[in-house]
C-alpha cells in the first residue's frame, strides 16, 4: 500500500501556512489562486479571486459546480500527466497543476479566471444562464463580468508555470512535514525504549541486593566456622565470597593477568577441597607478564573446562597446571594442562578448526574464548589445543603484550 493512499492534503500540510504562502505569492504575481483536494474541495480559502468568480462561489449551487469542475480538471491533468489550460463551466479560461507526491495525486492548484484577447469578449459570457442556474442577480453579474481580465497567450503560460511551481512547493511542504512527524514518532519510540531500559536498569540494581545478601551471609557463616574452630571451612567460604564478588562486579574489559590468576586460584582452591586429594593444581606464571592485560574471564572458563570434561571422572591423581611467559618481545603464551581423559581425535579436529559444532562436546567456553581473543587482537591470536586421549590435554592462549587499555579497544 502506498504511504500516501490514506492521507489527505490537509493531513500533511498546515492549512494556515498554506494560505499564507498562497496569498503572498498570488498577490505578488497578480493571479487568482486556489488549492483543492482530490475531490475539488478547497483547502483553506482562495487568494486574489476576480469579483466574477467570487460572486459565482457565493451561491451554493455555483460553489458546488465550481468544486465539481475543479475536481474534473485535476483528474484530467493527472490522466494527461501535465498541467492543463481549459474552459471552466462559466466559459472562463482556467489553469490547473496537480499536486503529486511519490506519483500519488493529493490535490491541485488552480487559477486563471480570464479570457484570451482576440478570441472572446466579456459579452460572450452567458450571464443570463448563469443567473438562472445559480440564483444570482443579473445586475450583479453584469457588473462583475466587467472585471474579467483579457490576457495574452504568454500570460496564460506564465500563469501555468506559477501554478506548477506552487504545486511543487506544496508537495515539498507535505513531504517535509511527514518526514518530521515520522522522526518525531521515532524519537518518541526511542524515548519510550530508553525509559523501559531505565526501568530494567533499576530492576538490575535492585537485583544486586541478592549478591550483597549472599556475601553477607557467607561472611556470617565464615565467622561461625571460626568460632567453631573449622578453619578450612572458613577459608573455603571466604574464597567463594571473593570469587563471586570478582565475577559479579563490573570488572574492567582488560584486567591485569595477575588479577585473573588470583581469581583462578580461588576457583582451584574451592575445587581442590571439593575433590579432596583426587585433583591438585600448580601455577607457574612468570612475573614478567603479571602486569600485562588480558580480556576478562578468559582463564577461569578454560580451567573449568579441564575440571568438567577432563578430570571430573578421574578417581585419583588428577592435576591441572597453568604456566605463562613471554615468547617474544611482544607476545605472551599461557598454557593450561590437565592429565584427564583427553579429547577424541575427531573432536580435536573440530576444536583445532574452532568449528561451531564443538559446542555440543565442550560447551561454549572454548569457542567463546577463542572468538573474543580474535575479536580483540586479530587472526594471529587465540587458542591452540593439543590432546592425547587418556594422557593429557594442553590449551595454549596466545595474546599480545598489552599494558594500557580502553574499553573495547586495545592499545
Per-residue CA distances from 60 to 246, 285, 356 (Å)? 83, 98, 78
Q: Is residue 369 part of a domain?
A: yes
Q: Is residue 209 part of a domain?
A: no
Query: Regarding predicted confidence, which is higher, 176 or 73?
Result: 73
Same-domain pairing of 297 and 166: no
From 168, 184, 200, give the residue that closes a domain: 184
Q: Is residue 204 part of a domain?
A: no
> 84-93, 347-356, 358-367: which has the minimum mean pLDDT?
358-367
Query: What pLDDT score was predicted for residue 354?
Result: 56
Confirm if 306 and 336 have CB atoms less than 8 A apart: yes
Give the separation between CA 72 and CA 66, rounded to whole angstroms: 10
> 51-55, 175-179, 270-274, 358-362: which has the minimum mean pLDDT?
358-362
Same-domain pairing of 27 and 174: yes
Residue 71 has phi, psi (to 5 degrees) of -65, -45
H runs (alpha helix) in 208-353 = 209-227, 231-248, 257-275, 299-305, 345-352
Same-domain pairing of 62 and 172: yes
Q: Is residue 129 part of a domain?
A: yes
Same-domain pairing of 66 and 177: yes
Per-residue CA distances from 292 to 321, 325, 354, 399 (Å)? 20, 11, 26, 10
Query: What pLDDT score was predicted for residue 5?
Result: 61
Specify the CATH number for the domain of residue 125. 3.30.450
Same-domain pairing of 42 and 177: yes
Same-domain pairing of 283 and 405: yes
- Tens digits of residue pLDDT in 107-149: 999 998 999 988 888 989 999 999 999 999 999 999 999 999 9
Same-domain pairing of 282 and 146: no
Q: Is residue 145 part of a domain?
A: yes
Give the separation between CA 353 and CA 385, rounded to whole angstroms: 10
Percent of the chain predicted with pLDDT > 90: 38
Q: Which of 11-15, 192-196, 289-293, 348-352 has the highest mean pLDDT?
A: 289-293
Query: Regarding predicted confidence, which is higher, 102 or 74?
Result: 74
Identify the band that residue 186 occupies on the pLDDT scale cut at 50, 70 and 90: confident
Using the predicted structure, report yes or no on whether residue 259 has a pLDDT greater than 80: yes
Query: What pLDDT score was predicted for residue 358?
Result: 45
Same-domain pairing of 170 and 27: yes
Within 13 Å of residue 369, how many CA atoms lie on the same side as its CB? 28
- Tens digits of residue pLDDT in 146-167: 999 999 888 888 888 889 888 8
- Span 77-99, mean pLDDT? 92
> How much is the mean pLDDT over the chain?
82
From 120, 149, 184, give the residue that closes a domain: 184
Query: Regarding predicted confidence, which is higher, 262 or 312?
Result: 262
C-alpha cell at 66: 465550481
Give the separation between CA 9 and CA 39, rounded to whole angstroms: 11
Same-domain pairing of 166 and 53: yes
Same-domain pairing of 146 and 291: no
Domain encompassing residue 91 = 9-184
C-alpha cell at 289: 607478564
Residues 6+ apart with CB under 8 A from 71: 36, 38, 39, 40
Eight-class DSSP state of 103: T
Specify the CATH number for the domain of residue 371. 3.30.565.10
Per-residue CA distances from 210 to 203, 239, 241 (Å)? 12, 18, 13
Eight-class DSSP state of 154: H
Q: Is residue 259 part of a domain?
A: no
Closest residue by Cα to residue 295 from 385, 384, 386, 374: 374
Max intra-chain CA distance, the chain:
123
- Tens digits of residue pLDDT in 352-388: 665 444 444 444 567 778 888 888 898 899 999 998 8
Q: At 107, is the secondary structure helix, strand, or coil?
A: strand
Query: What pLDDT score was predicted for residue 205?
Result: 43
Eight-class DSSP state of 253: S
Using the predicted structure, report yes or no on whether residue 285 has a pLDDT greater than 90: yes
Where b means 16+ CB within 10 Å and e means fewer, 233-271 reads bbbbbbbbbbbebbeeeeeeebbbbebbbebbbbbbbbb
Query: What pLDDT score was predicted for residue 202?
Result: 47
Query: What pLDDT score was predicted for residue 314?
Result: 82
Containing 361, the helix (H) or strand (E) segment is: helix 359-362
Q: At 125, is the secondary structure helix, strand, or coil?
A: coil
Using the predicted structure, report yes or no on whether residue 179 has a pLDDT greater than 80: no
From 164, 184, 204, give the residue that closes a domain: 184
Give the separation between CA 131 and CA 90, rounded to whole angstroms: 11
Same-domain pairing of 158 and 292: no
C-alpha cell at 317: 591423581
Query: Regarding predicted confidence, which is higher, 376 or 410?
Result: 376
- Tens digits of residue pLDDT in 21-41: 888 888 878 889 999 999 999
Q: Is residue 334 part of a domain?
A: yes
Identify the band that residue 4 occupies on the pLDDT scale cut at 50, 70 and 90: low
Work out how many domains the chain is built from and give that number. Answer: 2
Same-domain pairing of 133 and 18: yes
Give the separation between CA 336 and CA 120, rounded to whole angstroms: 103
> 146-155, 233-242, 376-385, 393-402: which has the minimum mean pLDDT?
233-242
Identify the band that residue 232 occupies on the pLDDT scale cut at 50, 70 and 90: low
Query: What pLDDT score was predicted for residue 209?
Result: 42
Quote the pTM value: 0.47
Q: Is residue 228 part of a domain?
A: no
DSSP letter for each residue of 292-316: SB--TTSHHHHHHHIIIIIITT--S
Amino acid at each position: 500500500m502506498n504511504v500516501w493512499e490514506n492521507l489527505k492534503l490537509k493531513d500533511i500540510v498546515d492549512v494556515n501556512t498554506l494560505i499564507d504562502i498562497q496569498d503572498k505569492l498570488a498577490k505578488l504575481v497578480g493571479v487568482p489562486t486556489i488549492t483543492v483536494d482530490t475531490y475539488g474541495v478547497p483547502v483553506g480559502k482562495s487568494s486574489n479571486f476576480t469579483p466574477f468568480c467570487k460572486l459565482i462561489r457565493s451561491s451554493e449551487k455555483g460553489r458546488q459546480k465550481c468544486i465539481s469542475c475543479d475536481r474534473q480538471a485535476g483528474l484530467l491533468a493527472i490522466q494527461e500527466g501535465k498541467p492543463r489550460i481549459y474552459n471552466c463551466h462559466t466559459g472562463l479560461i482556467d489553469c490547473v497543476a496537480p499536486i503529486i507526491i511519490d506519483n500519488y495525486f493529493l490535490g491541485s492548484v488552480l487559477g486563471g479566471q480570464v479570457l484570451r484577447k482576440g478570441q472572446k469578449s466579456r459579452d460572450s459570457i452567458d450571464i443570463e444562464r448563469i443567473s438562472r442556474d445559480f440564483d444570482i442577480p443579473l445586475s450583479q453579474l453584469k457588473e462583475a463580468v466587467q472585471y474579467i481580465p483579457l490576457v495574452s497567450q504568454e500570460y496564460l503560460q506564465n500563469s501555468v508555470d506559477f501554478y506548477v511551481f506552487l504545486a511543487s512547493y506544496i508537495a515539498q511542504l507535505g513531504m517535509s512535514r511527514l518526514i518530521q512527524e515520522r522522526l518525531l514518532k521515532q524519537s518518541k519510540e526511542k524515548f519510550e525504549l530508553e525509559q523501559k531500559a531505565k526501568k530494567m536498569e533499576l530492576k538490575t540494581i535492585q537485583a544486586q541486593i541478592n549478591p550483597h545478601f549472599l556475601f553477607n551471609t557467607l561472611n556470617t557463616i565464615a565467622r561461625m566456622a571460626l568460632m567453631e574452630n573449622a578453619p578450612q571451612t572458613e577459608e573455603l567460604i571466604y574464597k567463594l565470597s571473593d570469587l563471586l564478588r570478582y565475577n559479579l562486579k563490573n570488572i574492567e574489559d582488560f584486567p591485569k593477568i595477575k588479577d585473573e590468576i588470583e581469581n583462578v586460584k580461588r576457583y582451584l582452591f574451592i575445587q581442590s577441597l571439593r575433590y579432596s586429594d583426587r585433583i591438585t593444581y600448580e601455577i607457574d606464571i612468570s612475573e614478567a607478564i603479571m602486569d600485562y592485560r588480558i580480556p576478562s574471564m578468559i582463564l577461569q572458563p578454560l580451567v573449568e573446562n579441564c575440571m568438567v570434561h577432563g578430570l571430573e571422572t578421574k578417581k585419583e591423581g588428577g592435576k591441572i597446571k597453568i604456566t605463562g611467559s613471554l615468547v617474544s618481545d611482544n607476545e605472551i603464551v599461557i598454557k593450561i594442562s590437565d592429565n584427564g581423559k583427553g579429547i577424541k581425535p575427531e573432536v580435536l579436529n573440530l576444536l583445532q578448526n574452532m568449528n561451531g559444532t564443538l559446542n555440543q562436546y565442550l560447551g561454549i567456553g572454548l569457542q567463546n574464548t577463542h572468538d573474543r581473543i580474535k575479536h580483540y587482537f586479530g587472526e594471529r591470536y587465540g587458542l591452540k589445543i593439543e590432546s592425547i586421549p587418556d594422557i593429557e590435554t594442553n590449551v595454549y592462549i596466545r595474546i599480545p603484550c598489552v599494558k594500557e587499555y580502553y574499553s573495547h579497544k586495545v592499545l
